Amino acid sequence: MLQILNSVLLLFVLCSGLQVRALPVEQSVNKTRTVDRPYVGIITVANGQRWGSWGIREMCPLGTYATGFSLRVESNQGVLGDDTALNGIALRCTAPRTASSSIINYSTAQSNSGSWGQWTQNKWCTSGQMVAFQLRVEPYKGVWSDDTAANNIRFKCSGGDVLEGNGMSWGSWGSWSSNCAGRGICGIETKVEAPQGPRDDTALNDVRLYCCN
């Protein structure tokens, strides 16, 4: 019976001409644990986009802070493709860094992410921890256009570094968030649009970051 239903569904899709975008096996919802950790503040930016819903909050383990990050980014899909650009942000958590710090041992705090793209190489503060961020976002382009929402992110480190992700270039950079209350960034929550089938996908739209002493 299941085989018959699958055959009927496939015939319907072929006959109707619908272009259904295939999803990878990996699901968009992060399945790692959420760390219950006290925080002293939340930092946000004003230019995040409107689509999707807020996912889980995930925190760095006690005694660690976000000192690096990686992005999940979908490359340019061409004129006829559906671009989503930035799909996910993973914070890399360690003790505050010094010039002699090892970056081999770290944990990850990652909220929900989109379904497309590849993870980039980690980027690290040379000292200290991340304390503020800036988001590159494409504004709404209209009903018949391909929206991408969030495209890239920058982080400011307490030691003075500014780290820019290897994201996409649509849209523009907004204003910086305020600096963290407390010592630095220690958690993340992302706003992600679920896959839309034949309609336009945008994946990651916005992010808010948590700060700890």
Mean pLDDT, range 18-41, rounded to an integer: 53
Q: Would residue 5 count as lying in a domain? A: no
User: For the domain that residue 155 is a member of, what is the CATH number?
Assistant: 2.100.10.20
pLDDT at 19 > cutoff 70: no
Q: Would residue 19 count as lying in a domain? A: no
- Amino acid (one-letter) located at 16: S
First to last CA, the chain: 58
DSSP string, 11-79: HHHHHHT--PPPPPSS-SS--SPPP----SEEE--S---S-SEE---EEPPTT-EEEEEEEEEPPP--T
How far apart CA 125 and CA 36 sit, in angstroms, is 25
- pLDDT number for residue 31: 37
Report pLDDT digits (tens) over 84-105.
999 999 999 999 988 777 767 8
pLDDT band at 200 (very low <50, low <70, confident <90, very high): confident
Q: Would residue 27 count as lying in a domain? A: no
Q: Would residue 1 count as lying in a domain? A: no
Mean pLDDT, range 180-185, rounded to an integer: 96
pLDDT band at 35 (very low <50, low <70, confident <90, very high): low
- pLDDT number for residue 80: 81
The total number of residues written for the chain in this structure: 213
How far apart CA 106 and CA 23 sit, in angstroms, is 29
Paired strand residues for 184:
212
- pLDDT number for residue 58: 97
- Looking up tokens 């496939």, which residue turns up? 10
Cα angle for residues 104, 105, 106 (degrees, 5° grid): 115
Report pLDDT digits (tens) over 113-156.
999 999 999 999 999 999 999 999 999 988 778 889 999 999 99
How far apart CA 18 and CA 16 sit, in angstroms, is 6
- Ranking 44-48, 49-53, 140-144, 159-163 by mean pLDDT, the lowest is 140-144
Q: Would residue 47 count as lying in a domain? A: yes
- pLDDT number for residue 109: 97
Paired strand residues for 208:
189
Q: Would residue 194 count as lying in a domain? A: yes
Q: How many domains are there within the chain?
A: 1
Task: Find the domain containing 119 and state its range.
Answer: 39-212
Residue 15, number of CB atoms within 10 A of its CB: 8
> Which residue intervals of 77-196 are DSSP H helices?
none
- pLDDT number for residue 144: 76
Q: Would residue 69 count as lying in a domain? A: yes
How far apart CA 86 and CA 91 sit, in angstroms, is 14
Whole-angstrom CA distances from 191 to 17, 40, 48, 113 are: 31, 21, 9, 8
Q: Would residue 12 count as lying in a domain? A: no
